[in-house]
Amino acid sequence: MDRDPGRQVCVRARPARRVPTGDDGKAATGPQILGPFARVAGLVASLAIACGPVPAQAIGSQTCAFPTSPSVLMAEGEPHAAGSKLLQMWEFDDAPVFASEAEPAGYEAFRRRAAAAVGDTDPLRPLRANPGRNNDLVARHAGAWVRPATCLQKLLQKAQDDRIDTFASPTEFMAFVLRSPDGARLRVYFYTANFDGIGRVGPAAEPAARDHAAGWTVLAGVHNHNFHPHDPTLNGAVGPSLPDAQFNLRFHAQTGMAEAWITNGLHTAQIPAAAFPLFEQTP
């Protein structure tokens, strides 16, 4: 593995830091935005969005759950049917639990179904089983980017899994996580069309871009790559597809999106914006 490329650091300021390098050895370019998921004293005072998950034992009694019901901005069709669309938004006070490894109630059932369907859930296995520039890049930088899914990422995966069983008919979502101008609140847009492929993400990207123009920070775009027990070429690899990579670079240029999170519900690649130019994109 490369010498610690792209490793994120847990500090409030923006220190000098190493950035990911491409196959030609040149450093990637692009601003980095590191922001705390929660501004609290003690252990989590220096927690940054780009750091690994906070151990669950550090969170104490905090529950991994959305503290408010979502505002439904658009809904079409029966929630559990293919092609049914949903755009919803949560807004809530930031808290360290969302960046922790704490799990939503009942999430152990998702873990059991994943293990029963695919056996080995090591995140490097599907990356290496499906070689290509993008999967190879994520595998090479796995020590810096790939980690257990956070509470917030698992909440989003669960929201989609509750609509359509991931292991019966895998479907995708796209979400955007934003931080308020005062740093106190998170806003999360979630969009799905209940298809195995998200297609056009404008329904969620457009309000996120408007919020950015109003002073909100776009912390991450979140996209799921599901386990596909019957298709090894699509089986939970957390590397971006060519369209994903193209969107990440363009949306970063538009909004300063700090990271792209690609999750299979158990593990997530949290890719910093400085690495976006390194990925192969749609021609």
pLDDT digits (tens, 9 = 90+) for 57-90: 445 558 999 999 999 999 999 999 999 999 999 9
Strand order in the sheet with 267-272: 71-76, 85-93, 185-192, 173-179, 217-224, 259-263, 267-272, 146-148
Burial (CB count within 10 angstroms: exposed 0-12, middle 13-18, buried 19+), residue 220: buried
pLDDT of residue 56: 52
Geometric angle at alpha carbon 149, from 14 and 197, rounded to 5°: 105
pLDDT bin (cut points 50, 70, 90) of residue 259 is very high
pLDDT per position as a tens digit, 143-194: 999 999 999 999 999 999 999 999 998 999 999 999 999 999 999 999 999 9
Q: Are 271 and 240 spatial neighbours (Cβ–Cβ below 8 Å)?
A: yes
**Does the pLDDT at position 254 exceed 50?**
yes
Q: What are phi and psi of 212, to 5 degrees?
A: -60, -45
How far apart, in whole angstroms, are the C-alpha atoms of residue 236 and residue 262?
A: 10
- The residue that leads in pLDDT, 283 or 219, is 219
pTM (2 decimals)?
0.81
Strand partners, 250: none
